[in-house]
Structure 1
Amino acid sequence: MSSIKRNNSVASRGSLRTITTISILFVLIVISFIISMNTGIVRLSPIDVFKTLFGSGTPRQELILFDFRLPRIVISILVGAGLAVSGAILQATFRNELADPGILGINSGASLAVVLFITFFPLNELSPIFMLPFIALLGGSLAAVLINILAYKKGYGISPSRLIITGIAVTSGISAALLMLTVRLDPRNFEFVTIWLSGSIWGTNWKFVLALLPWILILLPFVYFKARTIDVMNLGDYIAAGLGTSVGRDRLVLMGTAVALAGSCIAVGGGISFIGLIAPHIARRLVGPLYRALIPTSALIGGLLLIVADTLARVILQPAEVPTGIVVSMIGAPYFLYLLARARA
């Protein structure tokens, strides 16, 4: 009886910690949202932003806030959340804390597909914009399949270390193909593709928000619904199968979901890396390893990281703008090296 009470007490403390963490992260996102609305080449005071939001701003202030800043801020949150949850799924699926859509070549495959697409189709039309996530999904899926095939070794399956090395090799090959493709572009497209590959939040209008939003609204709740399955799979394939989990099918479904999340986010947000690596690790330190708490926490951390990085990217070298992906990489690359060193130890 006492052990049951003790377990209930531990569970309730865990739930309280999760609720507290999520509440704090939500408040931080709201604060970052407000700061980001006031930040840019043209400064808007908090009073100007408040007036503009309620219809009392000047036409210039409405243009800046509603047509440029708000779509970009919303996209930053959605892309950060999607990439973070994608990374959390991959780390669980492969049971490797170094797994990430960028490191495993999914981002590169999606980027190559999108660059090929925008080379031939203009993005000022509505249908190509809504096609981008599907194109990115195709490219990311092909890259993921290729990496799994190359990482597979007969009699041993797919080892985490072999998967990471294969992913890095495939990413290098795709990056070379991207470089060869970009040098053949006309100057206007070359400049755009170069900035996009650096991780610029380039989809700065509501069409891009609408193109990404259905993917996030459908896939994130689905992943949360599968949280218990992910926790069971983390116990090992034999135990999970013994508990009634269809390991092969669920792993394939989760892998496809991770690719879809990463691909759709890359299509709209550009070549942003490391969010899927950093956010789940921070979330584990805050709420523990259970995915029912880890998934929403990772999503909020990813959104917070990217909105902060995008805000910094707009102010570091004003009036010039640094691609957001570079700011994220400045944080993510050292963290990746730290995780790599800890894994070897």
Structure 2
Amino acid sequence: MNQLLAPAQPEPATRPAPAGTVSAPRIVLVFVLTVAVGLVVAAVHLTQGTSSVGALDLLRLLVGTDDEAARVLVASRLPRLLAGLAIGVALGFAGAALQSIARNPLASPDTLAVNAGAHLAIVAAAAFGITLPALPAGGLALLGGLAAAALVMSLSAGGQAGTTRLILAGSATAMALSSLTMLLLILFEQATIGLFAWGNGSLVQSDLRALTQLAPVIALAVGALLLLGHRLDILALGDDTATVLGLDVRRTRLIVTVLAVVLSAAAVTLTGPVGFVGLCAPVIVRLLAPVAPGVHRHRILLPLSGLAGVIIVLGSDVLLRAVMGGQAGVDIPTGVVTTLFGAAILIWLARRHRDAGPTRRPPGGHAAVRSAGFHRTVVGCGLVATVVAVLVGMLFGDTWVLLGDIVNWVQGRTGPAYTFVLDQRWPRVAAAVLAGAALAIAGTTVQAVCRNPLAEPGILGITAGAGLGAVALLTFVPLAGVLAISGVAGLGAILAFALVYGAAWRGGLSSDRLVLIGFGAWQGGMAVITFLIVAYDPWNTAKALTWLSGSTYGRTAWQVLPVAVALLVFTPAVVAARRELDLLTLDDDTPRVLGVRLERTRLVALTAAALLTSTAVSAVGVIGFVGLVAPHAARALVGGRHSRVIPVAALLGAALVSLADTLGRTVIAPAQVPAGLIVAMIGTPYFVWLLWRSRATATGPR
């Protein structure tokens, strides 16, 4: 918790408004207009639904009785409206509070993994057959969300070590928690049916029971934050000034964080995690500062953010049902629309973002200096580990074979049963090994170019693009072959990277901006994937979830071939650019002084990384953490020079994915755990340790 409360410098986007008189008439006008817009949206919201009851029927209730209209209003539409109102207020207040204490414009229940932690807690209870009323479920969600927020804030120095570090710490933690959630959804498909759509934020309510239990909790937390508004104003002046003025900074941060997580957990318990409302609402309110001076005062900012949250939630629901029809409000989570809106806001904010400079550190900053002999020893051990991983992969599975069976199979002397098993198994092992190597090389390249030790290929939107292409084909062409799925996934990955790179280019490539826009594209892509699954194939979610979790199931030799070709073509290119990569990790000026064409080198290196990632994803699906963990482990072993890091990272990545795939095929055979989930469970502890080790640097002098 100490790092959660650690002092640091404020970011410009969340500083208080300039000193001066608050324009009371303008503030009142803003409140009046916001409430008016909210009432209009709420009125429209009440007229939508699956029944034939429309606006005229509801108006007749004011002058008479209409049993059908009254029944529809009370049983369906009013609970949905009130749920949207409650979570809009809760998430708006929570987002504004978290941004203020972190002094970071991108802090929110989503980027701090609060929603992911609360979601995992709820799904875990359902998976093990535990049925809880609203309040106990809310308490469970609170514990999950609070643990996730404490971890992310601690790892990112209270959120104040830089926007990019906060996003990367939060996204990696959310990815790990989401992997565990997805594992439970796959393994306990019957017990958790319907929770996939709910896990993206659904306003569907069967009655008012949960709302009546959670509404007092939300009201108390909102009231407590309003009472703390003056303290937050003082805290915004800086930790030293606040301390001089008599404010207990540590206690204030702790109380506000707990209250924000309580609000987020209540919202998740009520409707599931509705994405990015807590990010967008305070950002929109702060944009009003030029026309309404004083809007940054927290007793104004907090309620306006709550009202903006209500408009975002209800407006997204109105838009969804207006475009897709009344039934879409039942089938498609409202959180899909809010996430798309939030991703657009995040990309817009990222395009205005300037590089954090000192918050980006060379990825080899802590790398040990090793001798050439030690490097050769590590490479030899890596080769042995990879060969062992391949042999174990061929031996183990739902049917175990002996080493002699493999020898006989190679010589064509096995019986039909073993021949069938090994013919099906070797493409899977090859896909895992080659994809792991490709992802590791891509991760090494991305970290060097972005000069950020926390970056990885997936954060550039590549995996989301590949996942979108594959799920779209699985949804609209169910009989599509494996090769077609791989091709479309690869095309989606390349297009996503092109869009992210183009959006990040603004008179040059900003590495921090590239990461933030990639994160927004990743979130937006996953929202579209959710929409496709729940709108067009809601009873077959396991099919898409398995692919999105990274699986070698059903892989063929033809599907492995593109990865092998990509490795043969792009690995020599990356190795040839090892000197340029070494220089790119230093700063922007040194490469230019030494004659390196910086922008062209970055483009070529990132394109190679994107192609390696796209072919790997097309072969094995979405596997995270390999491109993050393997390069770090390699640098820890052999130092920061890329001529040494690249081969060691490739071997470590190959062994990691191969062993994860074997473990997933064996532990619950004949059922299988996707390899990507195993990798996430292995990679998460390493990543947490990595962030914890580097937190001192993040909080040091800048």
Partner of 2:600: 249
Partner of 1:84: 440
The offset of 1:239, in angstroms, is 1.2
Q: CA RMSD in A?
A: 2.4
- Structure ranking higher on relative contact order (CA contacts 8 Å, 6+ apart): 1
Identify if the C-alpha distance between structure 1 residues 165 and 226 changes in structure 2 by more than 3 Å, giving closer, same or farther.
Answer: same
Distance 1:265 1:74 in 2: 11
Count how many residue pairs are aligned between Structure 1 and Structure 2. 327
215-224 vs 178-187, greater mean Cα deviation = 178-187
Match of 1:313 among 664, 685, 701: 664
Identify if the C-alpha distance between structure 1 residues 270 and 134 changes in structure 2 by more than 3 Å, giving closer, same or farther.
Answer: closer
- Answering whether residue 641 of structure 2 is matched by residue 290 of structure 1, we say yes
Distance 2:509 2:606 in 1: 16
SS in 2 for 1:286: helix
SS in 2 for 1:102: helix
Partner of 1:324: 675
Match of 1:266 among 611, 614, 617: 617
- Cα displacement string for residues 10-44 of structure 1 (whole angstroms, at most 9, x for unaligned residues): xx973222211111111111112111111011111
SS in 2 for 1:43: coil
* Structure 1: unaligned runs, 5 residues or longer: 1-11
Distance 2:398 2:485 in 1: 27
The offset of 1:235, in angstroms, is 2.8
Partner of 1:227: 578
Distance 1:96 1:140 in 2: 21
- Answering whether residue 485 of structure 2 is matched by residue 123 of structure 1, we say no
Contact 2:462–2:494 (CA under 8 A) maintained in structure 1: no
108-117 vs 288-297, greater mean Cα deviation = 108-117
- Cα displacement string for residues 117-166 of structure 1 (whole angstroms, at most 9, x for unaligned residues): 4444543386x3663464144333245326625xx6x8x96253x55444
- Cα displacement string for residues 235-266 of structure 1 (whole angstroms, at most 9, x for unaligned residues): 32211111111011001111111111111111
Amino acid across the alignment from 1:64: V
Identify if the C-alpha distance between structure 1 residues 334 and 170 changes in structure 2 by more than 3 Å, giving closer, same or farther.
Answer: farther
SS in 2 for 1:331: helix
Relative to the length of structure 1, the TM-score reads 0.87
Identify if the C-alpha distance between structure 1 residues 310 and 138 changes in structure 2 by more than 3 Å, giving closer, same or farther.
Answer: same
Contact 1:106–1:263 (CA under 8 A) maintained in structure 2: yes
Contact 1:113–1:139 (CA under 8 A) maintained in structure 2: no
Match of 1:40 among 363, 378, 397: 397
Contact 1:93–1:255 (CA under 8 A) maintained in structure 2: yes
Partner of 2:372: 15
Partner of 1:64: 421
Partner of 1:94: 450
110-119 vs 194-203, greater mean Cα deviation = 110-119
280-289 vs 37-46, greater mean Cα deviation = 37-46
Amino acid across the alignment from 1:284: R
Distance 2:455 2:461 in 1: 10
Partner of 1:158: 510
Identify if the C-alpha distance between structure 1 residues 81 and 97 changes in structure 2 by more than 3 Å, giving closer, same or farther.
Answer: same
Distance 1:232 1:271 in 2: 31
SS in 2 for 1:239: helix
Relative to the length of structure 2, the TM-score reads 0.44
Contact 2:436–2:655 (CA under 8 A) maintained in structure 1: yes
Identify if the C-alpha distance between structure 1 residues 240 and 166 changes in structure 2 by more than 3 Å, giving closer, same or farther.
Answer: same
Contact 1:104–1:167 (CA under 8 A) maintained in structure 2: yes
- Answering whether residue 407 of structure 2 is matched by residue 50 of structure 1, we say yes
Contact 2:575–2:646 (CA under 8 A) maintained in structure 1: yes
Partner of 2:629: 278
Identify if the C-alpha distance between structure 1 residues 253 and 80 changes in structure 2 by more than 3 Å, giving closer, same or farther.
Answer: same
- Answering whether residue 696 of structure 2 is matched by residue 339 of structure 1, we say no
Contact 1:106–1:143 (CA under 8 A) maintained in structure 2: no
- Cα displacement string for residues 270-293 of structure 1 (whole angstroms, at most 9, x for unaligned residues): 011000000000000111111111
Identify if the C-alpha distance between structure 1 residues 106 and 130 changes in structure 2 by more than 3 Å, giving closer, same or farther.
Answer: closer
Distance 1:108 1:134 in 2: 11
Partner of 1:180: 531
SS in 1 for 2:555: coil
37-46 vs 88-97, greater mean Cα deviation = 37-46
The offset of 1:318, in angstroms, is 2.0
The offset of 1:74, in angstroms, is 0.6
Partner of 1:141: 497
140-149 vs 104-113, greater mean Cα deviation = 140-149
- Answering whether residue 381 of structure 2 is matched by residue 29 of structure 1, we say no
Match of 1:195 among 526, 546, 562: 546
Distance 1:33 1:131 in 2: 26
The offset of 1:201, in angstroms, is 1.7
Contact 1:101–1:276 (CA under 8 A) maintained in structure 2: yes
Contact 2:374–2:638 (CA under 8 A) maintained in structure 1: yes
The offset of 1:221, in angstroms, is 1.4
Contact 1:212–1:265 (CA under 8 A) maintained in structure 2: yes
190-199 vs 116-125, greater mean Cα deviation = 116-125
Distance 1:42 1:163 in 2: 45
Partner of 1:9: none
Distance 1:239 1:40 in 2: 51
Identify if the C-alpha distance between structure 1 residues 115 and 258 changes in structure 2 by more than 3 Å, giving closer, same or farther.
Answer: same
Distance 1:146 1:197 in 2: 25
SS in 1 for 2:400: coil
Amino acid across the alignment from 2:451: R
